[in-house]
């Protein structure tokens, strides 16, 4: 199955967007001046034809379209974490799949699972391949004779739209832009915009319990899923389409966040709405981040439910060009499909002023500049790797009374692990709830070239330990994958872990679906 537009074999985005060496040098020089570190003399990524991948261990089946060339094996062999990008940049794909399968329908998914069971091959379901936690890397136990990636790219249709109940039945392989384009033709939107929106898919959002751009209200994919259908080695798993139910533990809730370990998600009913017609927003400046946090708490507990309520630390605002670094910025916005929202904005601004905030004049540029930087960040990270800059993020959620201690602990742990006075560690809020925020930490530091993976691992471990010790979650919306497993195992109750293992044993008795993620057989 040929892609209409070919992705890069490493990193983020499409091959036709990859900058030339001259463009890369120009971008690196500007970024190095802006950051105060990093080399304008960039490294070049290892070209596809120079990759040296281990030979496939098993031949792909003939039951569906399958690819075993270096491009597909490399692209599906790594996700999009910082460590993945560094490895791909250097031509290192230690665990490529033996083949990539492209089933066209559920019958071919069933046939693929049946073949894999007979051949003792692990199967890793893949949507957009944007995991930043090792969730799709075919790093499987040695008891398997091979591993294949199973792409849901062909499951890319909007099957039906229910305007009365405001829901749509959509394929799991639909990436964000195609989904919105097709819903838009019906006058609807799913209103779900994660940072990976350009490449990630509906099935991936469900499998990883992704979080969208909007900061309050229905913002997690959990809030937008009405029913899910998946193919498991034990049969079809399909939940009943309902607005709510008290009939025992919910079957679709268990598939949410299952990360391909319980079944291959093929389609879902998702909640949609008409496109909002009423919008109003402002940027508010705070001299102290703590005051901005108090404003966000007041907004989250006010019942106003702003569509956007993102607090950005001054240093990050400066780096992303959303501000000059002189103040912490709160990007505040309201929207509605039904009624004007100016009154809600004015009340929100009152709460900000009470916390010490100073609203920018109407139509200030901070919000638009930040939104553009937010969506371009994955592209910028590829350039940062080329110029020797470590760029990584960590996210969590915590109740309000514990946030200050968590922020101090996480930032301190990152700085100690980096041990470089030039490093910056900033915090922003991606989501806000009445009982707490979702802090998102960004690390920028000079990389030790050739040792980036070890440097990344040291920071990852230090911050993860600090987050769990402070009472936070190991992830708010980035999923568990393989990278978060040690801390996820510590976070969850032991009886729940046993129950999850039991569920996996029931639907995947051979343990072949994405082994190593969430649970061990």
396-424: pLDDT as tens digits: 999 999 999 999 999 999 999 999 999 99
Q: How far is CA 76 from the centre of its chain?
A: 16
8 Å CB contact between 190 and 281: no
E strand or H helix that includes residue 367: helix 366-386
Residue 364 · residue 15 · CB < 8 Å: no
Q: How far apart are CA 479 and CA 132, in angstroms?
A: 8
Residue among 230, 229, 242, 239 at smallest CA distance from 167? 242
Q: Phi/psi at 65 (nearest 5 deg)?
A: -60, 135
Is residue 109 within a helix (H) or strand (E), and if so which, with residue range?
helix 106-119
**Which pLDDT value is given to residue 148?**
98
Contacts of 233 (CB under 8 A, 6+ apart): 113, 114, 117, 507, 508, 509, 510, 512, 513
Q: Classify residue 48 by its DSSP letter.
A: G
What is the domain partition of the chain in residue ranges? 15-19+32-151, 158-274, 280-469
Please give the helix or strand (H or E) that residue 101 lies within, else none.
strand 99-102
Query: Dihedral (C-alpha) 429, 400, 215, 289: value to the nearest 10 degrees?
Result: -30
Separation of alpha carbons 474 and 319, rounded Å: 26
CATH architecture designation of domain 280-469: 3-Layer(aba) Sandwich (3.40)
Considering the four listed CATH numbers 1.10.260.40, 3.30.43.10, 3.40.50.300, 3.30.360.10, the one that applies to the domain covering 15-19+32-151 is 3.30.43.10
Rounded Cα distance, 496 and 304, in Å: 35
Question: Can you list the residues of the chain whose pLDDT is less than 50?
Answer: 365
Q: Tell me, what's the pLDDT at 215?
A: 77
Residue 374 confidence (pLDDT): 57
Domain 158-274 coded CATH 3.30.465.10: yes
What pLDDT is recorded for position 5? 82
């Amino acid at each position: 199955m040929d892609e209409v537009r070919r992705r890069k074999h490493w990193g983020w985005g499409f091959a036709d967007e990859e900058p030339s060496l001259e463009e890369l040098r120009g971008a690196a020089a500007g970024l190095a001046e802006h950051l105060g570190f990093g080399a304008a003399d960039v490294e070049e990524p290892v070209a596809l034809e120079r990759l040296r991948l281990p030979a496939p261990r098993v031949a792909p089946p003939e039951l569906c379209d399958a690819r075993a060339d270096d491009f597909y094996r490399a692209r599906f062999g790594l996700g999009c974490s910082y460590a993945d990008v560094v490895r791909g940049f250097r031509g290192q794909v230690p665990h490529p799949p033996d083949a990539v399968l492209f089933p066209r329908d559920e019958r071919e998914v069933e046939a693929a699972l049946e073949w894999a069971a007979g051949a003792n091959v692990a199967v890793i379901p893949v949507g957009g391949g944007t995991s930043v936690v090792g969730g799709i890397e075919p790093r499987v136990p040695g008891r398997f004779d091979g591993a294949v990636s199973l792409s849901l790219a062909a499951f890319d249709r909007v099957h039906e739209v229910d305007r009365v109940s405001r829901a749509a039945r959509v394929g799991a392989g639909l990436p964000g832009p195609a989904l919105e384009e097709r819903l838009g033709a019906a006058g609807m939107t799913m209103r779900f915009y994660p940072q990976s929106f350009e490449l990630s898919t509906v099935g991936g959002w469900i499998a990883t319990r992704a979080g969208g751009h909007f900061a309050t209200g229905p913002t997690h994919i959990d809030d937008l899923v009405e029913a899910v259908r998946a193919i498991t080695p034990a049969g079809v798993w399909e939940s009943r389409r309902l607005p709510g139910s008290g009939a025992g533990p919910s079957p679709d809730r268990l598939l949410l966040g299952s990360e391909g370990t319980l079944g291959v998600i093929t389609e879902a009913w998702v909640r949609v709405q008409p496109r909002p017609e009423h919008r109003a927003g402002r940027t508010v400046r705070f001299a102290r981040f703590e005051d901005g946090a108090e404003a966000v708490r007041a907004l989250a507990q006010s019942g106003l439910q702003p569509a956007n309520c993102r607090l950005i630390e001054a240093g990050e605002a400066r780096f992303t060009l959303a501000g000059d670094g002189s103040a912490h910025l709160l990007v505040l916005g309201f929207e509605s499909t039904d009624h004007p929202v100016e009154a809600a904005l004015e009340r929100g601004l009152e709460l900000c002023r009470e916390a010490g905030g100073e609203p920018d004049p109407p139509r200030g540029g901070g919000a638009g500049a930040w939104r553009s930087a937010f969506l371009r960040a994955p592209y910028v990270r590829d350039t940062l790797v080329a110029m020797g800059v470590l760029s990584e993020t960590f996210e969590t959620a915590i109740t309000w009374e514990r946030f200050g201690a968590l922020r101090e602990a996480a930032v301190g742990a990152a700085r100690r692990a980096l041990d470089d006075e030039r490093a910056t560690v900033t915090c922003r809020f991606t989501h806000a709830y009445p009982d707490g925020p979702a802090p998102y930490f960004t690390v920028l530091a000079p990389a030790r070239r050739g040792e980036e993976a070890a440097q990344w691992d040291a920071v990852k471990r230090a911050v993860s330990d600090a987050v769990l010790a402070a009472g936070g979650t190991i992830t708010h919306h980035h999923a568990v994958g393989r990278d978060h497993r040690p801390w996820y195992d510590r976070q969850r109750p032991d009886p729940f872990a046993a129950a999850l293992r039991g569920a996996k044993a029931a639907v995947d008795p051979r343990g072949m679906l994405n082994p190593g993620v969430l649970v061990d057989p």
